[in-house]
Structure 1
Amino acid sequence: MDLVIIPAGVPRKPGMTRDDLFNINAGIVRTLCEGIAKCCPNAIVNLISNPVNSTVPIAAEVFKKAGTYEPKRLLGVTMLDVVRANTFVVWTKNGSTSYIE
């Protein structure tokens, strides 16, 4: 089984909206997924490109169009967002990690 991890995309820059980020990264994800659909259509795909909640549906549509979509093989990896959220909670609780489970 092939595994493809897509961390591709541009980082959000000062003054850039999430819409701006999406417009750039969606094109990158679309192009990469078209290649994946042709070269390794049965691969498990882990998508890290932000905004993940918007780029995963783009990938799904590309795979559907190619006839290679399998929902159990397309994953959006959001661990970075979880770490950021946990860090924010620690900051709001004066640095105490007892609030993080």
Structure 2
Amino acid sequence: MEKRILEFITALRAMGVRVSVAESGDAFQAVRALGVKDPRLFRTTLQSTLVKEAHDLPTFERLFPLYFGSGGPPPLNALDDLTPEQKQMLAAALRALLENLQQNRSPT
């Protein structure tokens, strides 16, 4: 999650949002303290620690879903939410993908 937040901060900076090192640290500390399970709280935490100027809010709003989806951070472990049947289907699909990639690999 820290890597994703850092990528998000880098994107904000690239779009002209001024985010200091101290503010980045504040964002990490706040996320550690408040957690990531509540999507609304996660979004508000990042917004309140990273956006100082009202004119930067549209940039935050545009980039946030690109890095964290529409509601919040990715699940800590998405597999926990799958049924056993869904896990089997996912495993089969991944095996098929791997086989396909191995068969189509060009010699180097």
TM bin (shorter chain) = 0.3 to 0.5
TM-score when scaled to structure 2? 0.31
More helix, by proportion: 2
TM-score when scaled to structure 1? 0.32
More strand, by proportion: 1
Bigger-Rg structure (1/2): 2
